[in-house]
Copies of this chain bind each other. A is one copy, B any other.
Amino acid sequence: MHILDIKPETVFQALSESTRLRIMRLLCVTGEEACLCEFVDALLEPQYKLSRHIKILKQAGLLSTLKDGRWVYHRLVTSSEYLQQLHTSIIMMTDYEGFYQEDIKRFNQRMFIRESGRCRVGVQNTKLLEDNIKNKTDRS
């Protein structure tokens, strides 16, 4: 699917959900690529949830994917000026409550355990993740 075949509203639609914006912001700010388990440890959201949101970002032409064994790396598509402009907008978004910053902090910690720049383990923050999910259901 060429970028020109994707409607602008599809791109903004992909950016209209908070979890997907967290993924995009993380990649825009760090300039990194990451696999699913690294996203799980950074955002503390269940793996199936992030997997589906990443799929939507891919279908909107915002992410591309590289498979490496069991791991699948996701990175920003930067091939058009239009998308680069959008990345700038995303970086300029407010982070009033500092939530994006917390994602980035956990992400950087997670990146430390890479070996030769590759992820070699699965989800690490299992405990943190469960606590995070529990807190949310308690609040609702």
Q: Which residues of chain A have a CB within 8 Å of any CB of chain B?
A: 3-5, 7-9, 12-13, 15-18, 21, 81-82, 85-86, 88-90, 92-94, 96
Stoichiometry, as copies per complex, reads 2
User: Could you say which residues of chain B place their CB within 8 Å of the CB of A93?
Assistant: 8, 82
Residues of chain B within 8 A (CB-CB) of A18 are: 7, 9
**Which chain B residue shows the least CB distance to A20?**
B9
Whether A4 contacts B96 by the Cβ 8 Å rule is: yes
Complex Cα–Cα for A13 and B14 (A) = 9
A9's partner among B9, B16, B82, B92 (CB-CB below 8 A) is: B16
Q: Which B residues touch A92, using CB under 8 A?
A: 81-82, 85
Which B-chain residue is minimally distant from A95 (CB atoms)? Answer: B8
**Which residue of chain B has its CB nearest to the CB of A13?**
B16
Q: Of B16, B88, B89, B96, which is within 8 A of A16 by CB?
A: B16
